Every structure is written in C-alpha cells, then in structure tokens.
C-alpha cells in the first residue's frame, strides 16, 4: 500500500500539520483525531498496516481462544450438568487457522486500509522513518512538520537465555500461524500472553508446560494468580514457577530442551516446541532517537510525560512504544491525547486511574484500580473484601464456581480503590467497577445499587456487602 491514498501530494516540499510515525492502532487514532480537526496529516507506516492488535495480537489470539473454549466446555458439560451428554475435539487446526486469517484480513481491510480514502487530509506512505530536523525521512523522502507523534509499537522480546537462538523458538506472532499442532510445548512467561497461549494450546490438544520466574500474573492480586494456577493445573497444564532460566538446546529428536533452576536444583524440561512469551520490546531501533535527543528507558521505550510529550519539543509518543499500559484501547486513548495536544497546546493529561485490564484465560481475569499492595504503597489505610464465586448465584446456576472477587477500599472514606475479578464471565463485569472508581463511588454505593439477578456483575454488589455483612446469611435477592 505504498502511497496509495495521497491527496494533492505531488511536492516533497509540502509541510504537514502533523506527522504520525506508525500505521497501527495508535497511529491511526492519532491521524484520524488530527484529520477530524482539519489538520493535514502524513502517516508513515512500516510493515503490515494495522499494527499488532488486528494482525498478530488481540484479534487472532482471542478468535483462537474462543474456538478451543467451545471444545473445553463441551467436554466439561457432562461433569457440570447431570443428564447432559456432549463432547468435542480438535478435528482440523489448519481450518481453524484459515478462518482466523480470514477474520484478520477482513478487519485489517475494513478498519484500516478502507478508512484512508475517507480522509482527504491523510496521506499514507510506507517506509522506515527516521527523525530529522523539522520532520521525518522515510523511503528516500523528507516529510516536514513542526509536530510529530511516534507510535511504532512493539514486537515480542527475546530473553537472554544461552542457546535460545539455536532452538527455533516460537513467539506470540509465529505461534498463531502454526497450521499443525505440536504434540508438546514449553511456554515461557507467566504474564497474560503466556497464560492465554498456554491454555489455548492445551485445550487444542497440546501437552503444555508453563514456566515462569516468579508467580503467575505477577501484576495481579496474588489470590488470583494462585487460584488460576490451580485451575490451569486441573486442566492438565504443568505449571512451574519461581525458577531461573539456565539454557536451551535442541534435542537429538529435533525438539527443544530447557534447563531451569528450581530451589537450587537444575531440571531439564523437554518438548517438541518452545514458545517465548516473556514480554515486548519497543520498535525504536531505526528512529534516530539518540541523535534527535529523545530520552528512553533502559529497555528502549520512549519516555513521555502526562501530556504525551517526549524530551524533544514538538515530538510526542503514544501506544506500546512508550512501555506503559500496553493495551490497544490505551494506545488509542493516548494517541488521541498526543494528537490533540500537538495541535492545540498541551492541555490534556493522560489518566489511567480507571483503566480496566483483562486476561482472556478461563476463568477470565479482570482488574481495575489499585491492588491491595499498591493501595498500601500509595498511603491508603486499606480495607479489602474477598468473595469466593460460590457465593454468587450466577456461578451456582452455571455449575461453575471457579473464581473470586476482591475489592480494595479506602478505610477512611470507603471509596472503591480497586476491583479484581476471577470468573468465567469476569471481563464483562469489570467496566461497572471502572465506572464506580471514575465516579468516586464508595463500597456503600455498590452495596446499595440495584443489580440484575443471576449475573456475574452482581458479584460486585455481594463483594461490597461482604465488607460489613456475611452474605451467606442473606436470601437470594435480600441485598
């Protein structure tokens, strides 16, 4: 798609109001925001248009997760409901992948490529961009503007494990393109990517070992990580935490061996394939940031302030390349702020205090606001309540009581500070807690609010009541 949508752009000397470097979610958000204000925008994209989320991240992974969920729940149904006979198996992984690819292609076309002709003031160019004086160089051309937004995203990071480059390891991108399933797989990383992919491949029929250095989902409440560890183990996944990676090598049979150190003892794990899901690295190598004076973290992420400004006047950054809040909706949100501030005077601030986060495991993990530890570190005299899902009528009716709900409150004002849900339908419940935090509601407000019966979100009301009452002593709708 080289220069496919330029409008009146015959002169290389044309000056733009804004240059956006990056053709993914954040880049398009910044470009469209600026274009809707009447700005002349140049977008410089490298690689496949659409970026991580639609091509190799959110969309394909969640499509595959949903596909294998249908297998798991069909096989689990007879154990949950007397009188039900059901069962399912993975018949053709290649067809599942082909369907995923079709979905990705369609969304990429509809939500990215087809949008460009709708904006006469956005010019899209392909090329590797580099910051230069008064603008950007890309593809042998110079683009001039006083304001630039960098939104180049990230790629899978590769940990420094001896021997890893020699074992043909998969990452979160290449793993989603496998047309044939391996018999066994080691998944490195206990974050949300590792958890999601480990469970997905296990449910597709792969013998999975999930290994990580600390605990599962280390950024979440420890109660959630511990419970999810048990649930993954009950599905047949071998979960090994609190270890150090020592080395990797190919086996004589062509598989992969990973040596780890657990409790001071070396242990070697063998599988057909190794999948590395230990984080993301920012795409910054060719931008000329050092020469331009743009400050970065030790990992290479671009440092920005609350207005999305970098250390260089007129240069902004947004999305995963900044290293914070690596969710597509936060990338789009930050990019909007960057574009508006670049054009209108830096009045807007980035606010993630009510940012919901979701892990698409089963049960799902959903979180917003402070964890208990974060609230204490911030100086709050905290109170917490933890409600096992067996106290939520929806879970009882569904014959699936895996999970819990934990609320964190200010012990003085009783304002809700954080909500953390582990439940099969937890992702669709977290936005209620996010709105409560954004609006400054208290746990009393939640406890007194009317919630629909036999819903997972009703658990928020019950968890709020748990601060001061024993919900086991209430009838179904007595709250």
With tokens 């937890």, the residue in question is 426
137 and 200 in a single domain? The answer is: no
Q: How far apart are CA 372 and CA 257, in angstroms?
A: 38
Q: Which of 254, 278, 302 delimits the end of a domain?
A: 278
Single out the residue of 14, 322, 292, 20 nearest to residue 142, CA to CA.
14
126 and 238 in a single domain? The answer is: no
Q: Which of 247, 278, 309 delimits the end of a domain?
A: 278
Q: Is residue 79 in some structural domain? A: no
287 and 273 in a single domain? The answer is: no
The answer to whether 433 and 369 have CB atoms below 8 angstroms apart is yes
* Rg of the chain on CA atoms, in Å: 24
Give, for all 479 residues of the chain, the pLDDT tens digit.
445 444 334 435 689 999 999 999 999 999 999 999 999 999 999 989 999 999 999 999 999 999 999 999 999 999 999 999 999 999 999 999 999 999 999 999 999 999 999 999 999 999 999 999 999 999 999 999 999 999 999 999 999 999 999 999 999 999 999 999 999 999 999 999 999 999 999 999 999 999 999 999 999 999 999 999 999 999 999 999 999 999 999 999 999 999 999 999 999 999 999 999 999 999 999 999 999 999 999 999 999 999 999 999 999 999 999 999 999 999 999 999 999 999 999 999 999 999 999 999 999 999 999 999 999 999 999 999 999 999 999 999 999 999 999 999 999 999 999 999 999 999 999 999 999 999 999 999 999 999 999 999 999 999 999 999 888 877 666 55
269 and 286 in a single domain? The answer is: no
139 and 287 in a single domain? The answer is: yes
Q: What is the pLDDT of residue 471?
A: 81
Q: Is residue 392 in some structural domain? A: yes
42 and 151 in a single domain? The answer is: yes
Single out the residue of 208, 168, 166 nearest to residue 188, CA to CA.
208
With tokens 């699936």, the residue in question is 400
Residues making up the binding site for NAD(+): 189-196, 279
Which CATH number is 309's domain given?
3.50.50.60
Q: How far apart are CA 7 and CA 2, in angstroms?
A: 13
Q: Which two tokens stand for residue 119?
A: 């904006």
Total count of domains within the chain:
3
16 to 65, 130, 257: CA distances (angstroms):
42, 16, 53
214 and 286 in a single domain? The answer is: no
Across-strand partners of 315? 148
138 and 38 in a single domain? The answer is: yes
Q: Is residue 401 in some structural domain? A: yes
Which CATH number is 391's domain given?
3.30.390.30
> Does the model's pTM come out above 0.85?
yes
Residues 6+ apart with CB under 8 A from 299: 281, 282, 323
206 and 267 in a single domain? The answer is: yes
Residues making up the binding site: 62, 189-196, 279, 320
Q: Phi first, then psi: what are they for 148, rounded to 5°?
A: -135, 140
289 and 271 in a single domain? The answer is: no
215 and 307 in a single domain? The answer is: no
272 and 295 in a single domain? The answer is: no
Domain residue limits at 392: 357-472
Q: Is residue 431 in some structural domain? A: yes
Q: Is residue 68 in some structural domain? A: no
Residues making up the binding site for FAD: 62, 320
Q: What is the pLDDT of residue 458?
A: 96
Q: What is the pLDDT of residue 14?
A: 86
Pairing of strands 243-250, 280-282: unpaired
Q: Which of 228, 247, 278 delimits the end of a domain?
A: 278
Q: Is residue 45 in some structural domain? A: yes
Q: Is residue 69 in some structural domain? A: no
Q: Is residue 97 in some structural domain? A: no
Q: How far apart are CA 46 and CA 223, in angstroms?
A: 42
């Amino acid at each position: 798609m080289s220069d496919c949508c330029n409008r009146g752009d015959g002169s290389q000397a044309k000056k733009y109001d804004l240059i956006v470097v990056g053709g993914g979610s954040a880049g398009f958000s910044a470009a469209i925001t600026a274009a809707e204000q009447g700005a002349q925008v140049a977008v410089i994209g490298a690689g496949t248009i659409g970026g991580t989320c639609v091509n190799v991240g959110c969309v394909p992974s969640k499509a595959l997760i949903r596909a294998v969920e249908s297998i798991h729940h069909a096989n689990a149904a007879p154990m949950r409901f007397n009188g039900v006979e059901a069962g399912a198996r993975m018949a053709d992984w290649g067809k599942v992948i082909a369907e995923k690819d079709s979905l990705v292609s369609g969304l990429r076309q509809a939500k990215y490529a087809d949008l460009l002709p709708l904006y006469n003031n956005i010019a899209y160019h392909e090329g590797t961009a580099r910051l230069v004086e008064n603008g950007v160089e890309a593809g042998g051309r110079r683009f001039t503007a006083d304001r630039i937004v960098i939104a180049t995203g990230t790629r899978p990071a590769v940990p420094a494990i001896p021997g890893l480059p020699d074992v043909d390891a998969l990452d979160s991108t290449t793993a989603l393109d496998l047309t044939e399933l391996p018999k066994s797989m080691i998944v490195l990383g206990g974050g949300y990517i590792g958890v999601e992919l480990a469970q997905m491949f296990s449910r597709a029929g792969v013998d999975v070992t999930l290994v990580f250095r600390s605990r599962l989902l280390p950024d979440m409440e420890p109660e959630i990580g511990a419970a999810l560890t048990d649930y993954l183990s009950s599905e047949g996944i071998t979960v090994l935490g609190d270890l150090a990676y020592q080395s990797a090598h190919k086996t004589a049979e062509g598989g992969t061996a990973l040596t780890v150190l657990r409790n001071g003892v070396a242990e070697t794990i063998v599988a057909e394939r190794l999948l590395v899901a230990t984080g993301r690295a920012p795409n910054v190598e060719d931008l000329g940031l050092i020469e331009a004076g743009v400050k970065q973290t030790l990992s290479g992420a671009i440092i920005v302030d609350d207005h999305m400004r970098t250390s260089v006047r007129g240069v902004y950054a947004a999305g995963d390349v900044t290293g914070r809040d690596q969710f597509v909706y936060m990338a789009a949100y930050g990019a909007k702020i960057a574009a508006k501030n670049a054009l209108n005077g830096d009045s807007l601030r980035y606010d993630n205090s009510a940012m919901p986060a979701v892990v698409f495991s089963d049960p799902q993990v959903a979180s917003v606001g402070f964890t208990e530890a974060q609230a204490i570190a911030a100086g709050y005299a905290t109170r917490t309540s933890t409600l096992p899902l067996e106290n939520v009528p929806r879970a009882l009716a569904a014959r699936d009581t895996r999970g819990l709900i934990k609320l964190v409150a200010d012990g003085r004002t009783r304002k809700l500070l954080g909500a953390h849900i582990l439940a099969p339908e937890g992702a669709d419940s977290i936005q209620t807690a996010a709105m409560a935090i954004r609006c400054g509601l208290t746990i009393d407000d939640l406890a007194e609010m009317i919630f629909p019966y036999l819903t997972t979100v009703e658990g928020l009301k019950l968890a709020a009541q748990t601060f001061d009452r024993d919900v086991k002593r209430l009838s179904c709708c007595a709250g």
